[in-house]
Amino acid sequence: MAKNAGSGAGSPAPEESSSAKGVVDLADARVRLRSRSRNPSNQNLLEELDEVRSLLDQGLSAEARSRLSLFISAAHNNPSILALARCALSTALEMQGQYRESLAAVAMYESPESRAKLDQEAVQSLKVQIGLVYNYNGDHPKAISILKGTLREFSESETEQNLGPIYAALARVYRSISEYPIALDYAQRALESFRQAGEWRGLAHAYFGIALAQVQEGDHEGALENLQQALKLIGDHPASYILGKIYANMAGVCWFLKRPQEGIRYLEKAIAYYERTDNKASAADGYNNLGINLILIGQWGRAQEALQRALSLASEADERAEKVPMILDSLGELLMLRGELDEAKDYLLRAVALATEDGNKWYACQALRTLARCYLAMEDHARALEHGEEALTLAEGIGDRQATCDSRLILAEAFLRDGDNEKYSAQLEKLGEETTDSATDLGFAGESQRLMGIMAMLQSDFSAAAQHFGSSVSIFDMLGDRYRSARAHAELGRAYASGQPSRAMEHLSRAVNAFRQLGAKLDQTRTEAALANLDRTAPARSEEQTALPQLLTLRLAEAVTSRELLLRELAAIMRQETNAKSVVITEPGEHNRRRVVIAHGCTPAESAKIAEQLDQLIDDEAQAAYAKKNDAAVLQLRSSHALPATLYISPRSRAMLPGGLSLEPLIRVAELGMDVCALRAGSQKGSRVQQPAELAGTSLMPGFIHSSPAMTKLVEEVHKIRSSDVTVLVTGESGTGKELVARAIHALSSRRSKVFVPFNCTAVPKELSEGYLFGYRRGAFTGAVTDSAGVIRTAAGGTLFLDEIGDLPLDLQPKLLRFLQEGEIQPLGEQRPIKVDVRIIAATNTDLEEMVAQSRFREDLYYRLNVIRLRVPPLRERRSEIPTIVNYYINHYSAKFGRKDLQITPPAVDLLMVSDWPGNVRQLCNEIQRVVARAEDATVITPDHLSPELKRTSAPTTPTSPVSTLSSMPTTALQNVTLADALADVERRMIADALRKHGGNISRAARELGLTRRGLYLKLERYQLSASA
């Protein structure tokens, strides 16, 4: 959220008893642990560990830590259970925000040797947790490397249903680095994995992860559905912590969907759950978000209480907690809206100082923007400009588009108030380029309309000003923003003051009442003064009738952001320009009954009655009779792609624009706008799920052929990272087309208009590599007779492709690492480092992990390069693409060499298909080039035209005899049975035998079978067996 939406007050439910909540008393736990033998059974230890996990679900991390300190001592004889306990301890520390300590709790298991005696469940749990804690500590490249290594390791030995925790962890890490399409993909894989196991906790977390990625991708309705599904999966399990997170994020989605009342209800539930946990920071966050929502809907008293509670909780958690600047910013904004500007300034200055000191650029940017607005309210334009510029620099630096747009609005208003119209226009123009037509940017549109109205007022164009302010009113009314709506009404009243005093009085009075109810004293005083100075006897201003339809048409055209805003604007125009007593717009609703979209000049009950009456009109004749009887005009709005709507205007004589102009042109514009909104909504709905087939038929660039699943998956990954600047490592055998992939990434990225510079790390002698990469000044060494920029600076603004990165000299690797970390280089002979903006794509056909193990490649550089890894599969793994590639290159080289009508026979293609192609696509390309170059026009290419070695490819092999152990099995048992079914039958019988042998004891049966207890439970569920089997 721009300011996160967030979480309602409301007292938490009364504390339940420990037994009711599933919480075990700490003292009781100690007694039970001491009363057990010094070497408790594995079953007792696992039961104890399950209780600890339940405490973590409930957010009781402090109690979990206390229990674990005793548990770890008791579990010293079982390495695997001890490792699982340390994972739980790491999780508890992470929940308390102690990220370094969280890493320390599992750091002793980082080396493979330390995990040698552990079972598979413990190893996987440890590696996932280690990856996550590196993520929490900000080392995202290392986290990704660890987790992807874990995925590769366990993909070979585990079934898909056991990989869910790894997928979920990868989704979390990619969310941390804002790679939301990739995060969504991993979250969906986690869901499929957990779905096979049917485990509620995993399923709920998977849906939660999908929803978080969907929010960032703009699919807010889908996110809300998935969060609701997560709630259903948790059901009545005691899981206060995750429930609090789910409800808080549901409120965040409602912020984007402009449903503040619904968001407040979710926040109140989130807070109620958070208050049951040890996590005061989350509770503080919830109260702060609740305060922000309450400010929006005008309940400023409750907002003050919520924000004070947030500040108290944040201070309790840590005297200089990271949440404090955000809460101070919210309090400062509330005081500013109330007109208490000096006190607001003090809060905001403190928020900026704390956020800057903590290095939190997001909070600092937010507080700077609010502080700039405060200075605008104080009419200190110079300081408003100063802090607005600071905020814009920060916003652009962290890549926050909404913060950037908000900063431009502040600067535009400051320039306008300062009389610099040229800079005002420049900021507003840039804002227009950066905003979208989505509902999330409606607030920017409302503020832009207000500023354009102020500009029109300064130019004495009161008619245009009224239209701009009217648009602002419609937008903020729809968003439920009471303060900004009241401010827009006040501005609209001032626009009408010089020529339409009755309209001016209506809007100014409405604004005064709203400011009084809100407690916005400064705005109330100013608006009351405008109302008192209103000249009620001033003659009505004569409008320029020829310009009015154009202004109204433009106003409607600018409202096509959403159907609701368009219809609200249409109603507002009818009310303002026709002086109608009442205007109502209805549309089809649930159960085939009309709903009121917007009504002016009548009560909710009256508008509902009108909608009910309109529902009963079955044809045009009945409509005409109704309109005549009620002295009203009833106009139908119809479009080919959208739901119809009905416009009701009373009295009938007012259904025209000033000067007797017809409403028909405006109705047509509104109908076209309804079509636009419907088509846009349909397009967004259709693009929610991207089908792989859509990419399979789309070539990234000439020569990039892909139709096999392996290459289609690669293309999907390339599309996912198209909007990112993150470092990419492309791996694959020689000749697979790694540079082509790199060029495709560049061509799809925001840097596509800039240069793409390839550099092969093996093409330059070791002694010259540093100069070629980083550049040098003249005289830096013997032979340096001129300055050289080096390839990194040559690629400034674009993409640098480092091929064969594994061959980069070891002594150059620290310099490249510094460039990746800091974005700066120091050419030979330069005294100071130079900042360079370049995206790095590296490629290698060597095993970098092995090189790291052999100390031939720096580990820290490997982590930096390995943030996103793309593997280009060899041609032998995508043989289905060979015919397509062959046809492409026959056409390509026919055009190059001037050959016509070349064809290739199926037997020749068959030989090409069965070749192993050690040189991959490059070798195949060279083969086709050789054949075409030697061919004549109209040649039919046969096996005889191919290279001699290809004619001898794929000699048939002698069938091997069956494995002895299988051949000894009764053949009748294997007839008409697949291998999977046969193995499943063997597993089922072995599990049943082990359970019978041990009297249904899960732990003993699992030990005999070589499984963990959890693994055995999963197999029992899969084969629908019971422990008593």
* Average pLDDT value for residue range 693-700: 44
Write the CA distances from 384 to 449, 572, 734, 934, integer angstroms: 20, 33, 58, 74
Query: Residue 943: pLDDT above 80?
Result: yes
Query: Residue 686: pLDDT above 90?
Result: no
Query: Residue 681: pLDDT above 80?
Result: no
Looking at residue 195, what is its pLDDT? 75
Give the relative orientation of helices 462-479 and 563-578 as an angle to the nearest 10 degrees. 140
pLDDT in tens, 210-220: 999 998 887 88
Query: Residue 881: pLDDT above 90?
Result: no
Query: Residue 544: pLDDT above 70?
Result: no
Looking at residue 968, what is its pLDDT? 38
In this structure, whether the domain defined by 876-951 belongs to CATH 1.10.8.60 is answered with yes
**What is the Cα–Cα distance from 257 to 292, expressed in whole angstroms?**
15
**What is the Cα–Cα distance from 533 to 493, expressed in whole angstroms?**
12
Query: Residue 115: pLDDT above 50?
Result: yes
* % of the chain exceeding 90 in pLDDT: 37
In this structure, whether the domain defined by 23-130 belongs to CATH 3.30.390.30 is answered with no
**End-to-end Cα, the chain, rounded Å:** 53
* Average pLDDT value for residue range 711-740: 86
Write the CA distances from 982 to 971, 972, 973, 978, integer angstroms: 12, 12, 8, 6
Return the structure tokens found at 613.
């009456």
Cβ-count burial of 831 within 10 angstroms (0-12 exposed, 13-18 middle, 19+ buried)? exposed
Q: Which of 15-24, 921-930, 989-998 has the lowest mean pLDDT?
A: 15-24
pLDDT in tens, 767-777: 788 888 998 88
Give the relative orientation of helices 260-274 and 280-297 as an angle to the nearest 10 degrees. 160
Query: Residue 736: pLDDT above 60?
Result: yes
User: Binning pLDDT at 50, 70 and 90, where does residue 687 land?
Assistant: very low
Query: Residue 688: pLDDT above 60?
Result: no
Query: Residue 257: pLDDT above 90?
Result: no
- CB neighbours of 129 closer than 8 A, spacing ≥ 6? 87, 90, 91, 106
Query: Residue 13: pLDDT above 50?
Result: no
Looking at residue 1006, what is its pLDDT? 77
Q: Are 1005 and 997 in contact (CB under 8 A)?
A: yes
* Average pLDDT value for residue range 56-84: 89
Query: Residue 640: pLDDT above 90?
Result: no
**What is the Cα–Cα distance from 199 to 197, expressed in whole angstroms?**
6
Among 253-257, 383-387, 685-689, 714-718, top mean pLDDT goes to 383-387
Give the relative orientation of helices 501-518 and 482-496 as an angle to the nearest 10 degrees. 160
Query: Residue 903: pLDDT above 80?
Result: yes
* Average pLDDT value for residue range 699-724: 74
Looking at residue 20, what is its pLDDT? 36
Check residues 165 and 474 and name the one with the higher pLDDT: 165
**Which residue stretches of 838-880 are H helix?**
848-853, 859-865
Per-residue burial over 468-491, b = 16 or more CB atoms within 10 Å of its CB, e = otherwise: bbbbbbbbbbbbebbbbbbbbbbb
**Backbone φ, ψ for residue 803 (5° rounding):** -85, 150
CA nearest neighbour of 808 among 779, 833, 773: 773
Query: Residue 745: pLDDT above 70?
Result: yes
pLDDT in tens, 292-310: 999 988 899 999 999 999 9
Looking at residue 32, what is its pLDDT? 52
Query: Residue 332: pLDDT above 90?
Result: yes
Query: β-strands 728-731, 839-844: how paired?
Result: parallel
Any idea which fold 972-1022 has? Arc Repressor Mutant, subunit A (1.10.10)
Tokens 């009818």 belong to 574
pLDDT in tens, 806-816: 999 998 999 99
Looking at residue 425, what is its pLDDT? 92
Q: Are 468 and 552 in contact (CB under 8 A)?
A: no
Cβ-count burial of 513 within 10 angstroms (0-12 exposed, 13-18 middle, 19+ buried)? middle
Superfamily classification of domain 548-686: GAF domain (3.30.450.40)
Looking at residue 702, what is its pLDDT? 55
User: Binning pLDDT at 50, 70 and 90, where does residue 180 land?
Assistant: confident
Q: Which of 357-361, 464-468, 963-967 has the lowest mean pLDDT?
A: 963-967
Check residues 174 and 1024 and name the one with the higher pLDDT: 174
Looking at residue 700, what is its pLDDT? 53
User: What's the mean pLDDT when you consider all of the chain?
Assistant: 83
Q: What is the 3-state secondary structure (H, E, C) of 927-942?
A: HHHHHHHHCCCCCEEC
**What is the Cα–Cα distance from 334 to 114, expressed in whole angstroms?**
55
Q: What is the 3-state secondary structure (H, E, C) of 351-367?
A: HHHHHHHHCCHHHHHHH
Among 175-179, 184-188, 979-983, 994-998, top mean pLDDT goes to 184-188
In the chain, the largest separation of any two C-alpha atoms, in whole Å, equals 111
Query: Residue 935: pLDDT above 60?
Result: yes
User: Binning pLDDT at 50, 70 and 90, where does residue 583 land?
Assistant: very high
Looking at residue 689, what is its pLDDT? 38
**Backbone φ, ψ for residue 125 (5° rounding):** -60, -45
Looking at residue 966, what is its pLDDT? 33
Looking at residue 17, what is its pLDDT? 34
Looking at residue 131, what is its pLDDT? 94
Query: Residue 4: pLDDT above 70?
Result: no
Query: Residue 442: pLDDT above 70?
Result: yes
Looking at residue 516, what is its pLDDT? 92
CA nearest neighbour of 213 among 164, 177, 240: 177
Query: Residue 698: pLDDT above 50?
Result: no
**What is the Cα–Cα distance from 957 to 537, expressed in whole angstroms?**
106
Q: Report domain extents, the chain.
A: 23-130, 548-686, 693-873, 876-951, 972-1022
User: Binning pLDDT at 50, 70 and 90, where does residue 951 land?
Assistant: low
Global pTM?
0.67
Q: Are 787 and 770 in contact (CB under 8 A)?
A: no
Query: Residue 1003: pLDDT above 80?
Result: no
Q: Which CATH class is domain 693-873?
A: alpha beta
User: Binning pLDDT at 50, 70 and 90, where does residue 537 land?
Assistant: low
Query: β-strands 582-588, 594-600: how paired?
Result: antiparallel
Looking at residue 924, what is its pLDDT? 92
* % of the chain exceeding 70 in pLDDT: 87
Write the CA distances from 6 to 92, 262, 295, 315, 559, integer angstroms: 25, 10, 12, 19, 28
* Average pLDDT value for residue range 783-791: 83
* Average pLDDT value for residue range 488-505: 88
Q: Are 171 and 183 in contact (CB under 8 A)?
A: yes
Torsion, CA 263, CA 269, CA 270, CA 273, rounded to 10: 180
Looking at residue 953, what is its pLDDT? 41
Query: Residue 931: pLDDT above 90?
Result: yes
